[in-house]
């Protein structure tokens, strides 16, 4: 607007005394104006570019990593890679080390690969690595409130404690919890009621983190975290049983021996069923339902393996790389339940088995998930023999959604 007016004035002067027309449009003025605007825009772009490049520079002492493109950093390589992100990251760790960094479009991120460094950060520096990053998606979803995405602080402590307490109230971790799994709907409804009681109690406390909004976020998170994960483990388990009929047969032999062909599956039977336990563990190890865990963030400056990691850095724990860590697993690419059995056939725990992660933010629903998986899996195989229709093996490549899941497949369940 300002430029247009100036151009009009210059035009009337150039026209002289002859016609005295009202303000006229002079192309030279407009050109000068456009040039000035263009120059300013270029300068702005240049300044923004320099700012972005400075932001993208690795801070001194930061872990090394592949170089990225201006602005988008390593996002292009991640998106263009033929491999899924967790596999791509594991490959990068072979070149840059177990701890390396990526630039996710200006978000400096540290990726932890293999059991040793994941444990070093999530267990030995548990508090520092217990935060969640303020990523735009998380902010939009739950405003960094709720439980799963909550910043490490009062809100998270309150919500985790409340969730653990209401789980305990229902006998979580005890034998009585078993029957409760059959009443999950009631469980969630009562969890809402417990929350509402907390809200009422906190009414006069201005610093209370219990609010209607946080109630919606945390209950929603619990439902998603509690259904999506367990369902997908079972979908993988069914797929693998049809793929390996020998393994399925061995599980069924154990079920028949311990539970009988029509006995009610019971959590107590688990310790007498090492092979079934080993199969479920191998499904969790091999299929990596949550391959990159949930992103963490550092709440303080810290040093890991001599690298400096500033406060607020996003941290990715590549749990897939832990489960395929050759230091801990022989032939990790092979589906082999026997790796969880000792030479006498007893179930053998493995240190580097961490599908539920480690440290302060480790999965809250581990016990519930384990019980659900065991009861559903044994009940299903007790009654049915599973195979692919016409013995056609489906595509086994995982699909990355909220969790790593199998592609849709058809299965025949024949009464045994």
Residues that bind ligand HEM (CB under 6 A): 147-148, 160, 221-222, 225-226, 229-230, 233, 289-290, 293-294, 296, 355-357, 361-365, 368-369
Residue 85 tokens, joined? 């992100």
| CA atoms in the 13 A half-sphere facing the CB of 356 | 14
Phi, psi of 306 (to 5 degrees): 85, -5
CB of 81 to ligand HEM, least distance (A): 22
Closer to ligand HEM at the Cβ: 26 or 221? Answer: 221
CB of 354 to ligand HEM, least distance (A): 8
CB of 31 to ligand HEM, least distance (A): 58
CB of 275 to ligand HEM, least distance (A): 19
Closer to ligand HEM at the Cβ: 255 or 297? Answer: 297
Q: How far is CA 353 from CA 86, 131, 295, 348, in A?
A: 17, 23, 19, 11
CB of 154 to ligand HEM, least distance (A): 13
Closer to ligand HEM at the Cβ: 225 or 309? Answer: 225
Closer to ligand HEM at the Cβ: 56 or 129? Answer: 129
CB within 8 Å of 163: residues ≥ 6 apart: 147, 191, 218, 222, 364
CB of 345 to ligand HEM, least distance (A): 25
Q: What does the longest C-alpha to C-alpha distance in the chain come to?
A: 113
CB of 220 to ligand HEM, least distance (A): 11
Closer to ligand HEM at the Cβ: 110 or 369? Answer: 369
Closer to ligand HEM at the Cβ: 56 or 238? Answer: 238
Closer to ligand HEM at the Cβ: 329 or 377? Answer: 377
Closer to ligand HEM at the Cβ: 26 or 325? Answer: 325
For 82-97, give one letter per residue: b (16+ CB within 10 A) or e: eebbbbbbbebbeebb
Q: β-pairing, 108-113 with 314-318?
A: parallel
Phi, psi of 68 (to 5 degrees): -115, 175
d(CA 20, CA 400): 72
Residue 296 tokens, joined? 């963490």
Ordered alpha helix ranges (H), 57-104 = 75-80, 85-96
Q: Which of 48, 3, 47 is nearest to 29 (CA)?
A: 3
Closer to ligand HEM at the Cβ: 304 or 364? Answer: 364
CB of 32 to ligand HEM, least distance (A): 58
Q: Name the β-bridge partners of 399.
A: 405
Q: How many CB atoms lie within 10 A of CB 126?
A: 14
Contact 378, 262 (CB under 8 A): no
Q: Which residue is nearest to ligand HEM (CB)?
A: 365
d(CA 158, CA 154): 6
Residue 392 tokens, joined? 């056609």
CB of 294 to ligand HEM, least distance (A): 4
């Amino acid at each position: 607007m300002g430029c247009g007016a100036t151009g009009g004035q210059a035009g009337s002067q150039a026209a002289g005394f002859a016609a005295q027309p009202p303000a006229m449009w002079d192309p030279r003025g407009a050109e000068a104006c456009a040039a000035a605007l263009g120059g300013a825009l270029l300068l702005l772009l240049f300044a923004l570019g320099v700012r972005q490049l400075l932001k993208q520079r690795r801070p001194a002492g930061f872990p090394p990593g592949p170089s990225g493109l201006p602005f988008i950093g390593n996002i292009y390589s991640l998106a263009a890679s033929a491999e899924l992100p967790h596999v791509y990251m594991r490959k990068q760790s072979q070149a840059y080390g177990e701890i390396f960094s990526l630039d996710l479009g200006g978000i400096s991120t540290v990726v932890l690969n293999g059991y040793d460094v994941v444990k070093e950060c999530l267990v030995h520096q548990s508090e520092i690595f217990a935060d969640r990053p303020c990523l735009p998606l998380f902010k939009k979803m739950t405003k960094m409130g709720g439980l799963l995405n909550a910043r490490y602080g009062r809100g998270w402590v309150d919500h985790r404690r409340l969730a653990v307490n209401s789980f305990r109230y229902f006998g979580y971790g005890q034998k009585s919890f078993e029957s409760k799994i059959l009443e999950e709907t009631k469980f969630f409804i009562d969890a809402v009621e417990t929350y509402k009681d907390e809200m009422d109690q906190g009414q006069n406390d201005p610093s209370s983190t219990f609010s209607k909004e946080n109630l919606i976020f945390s209950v929603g998170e619990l439902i998603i975290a509690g259904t999506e994960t367990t369902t997908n483990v079972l979908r993988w388990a069914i797929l693998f049983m049809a793929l390996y009929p020998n393994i399925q047969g061995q599980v069924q032999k154990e079920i028949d021996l311990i539970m009988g062909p029509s006995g009610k599956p019971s959590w107590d039977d688990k310790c007498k069923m090492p092979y079934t336990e080993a199969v479920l563990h191998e499904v969790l190890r091999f299929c990596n339902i949550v391959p990159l865990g949930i992103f963490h963030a550092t709440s303080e400056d810290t040093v890991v393996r001599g690298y400096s990691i500033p406060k607020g850095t996003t941290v990715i724990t590549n749990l897939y790389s832990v489960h395929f860590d050759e230091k801990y697993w022989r032939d990790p690419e092979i589906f082999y339940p026997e790796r969880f059995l000792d030479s006498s056939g007893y179930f053998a725990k493995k240190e580097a088995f961490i599908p539920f992660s480690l440290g302060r933010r480790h999965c809250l629903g581990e016990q519930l998930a384990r019980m659900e998986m065991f009861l559903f899996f044994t009940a299903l195989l007790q009654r049915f023999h599973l195979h692919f229709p016409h013995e056609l093996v489906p595509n086994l490549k995982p699909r990355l959604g909220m969790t790593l899941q199998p592609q849709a497949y058809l299965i025949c369940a024949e009464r045994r």
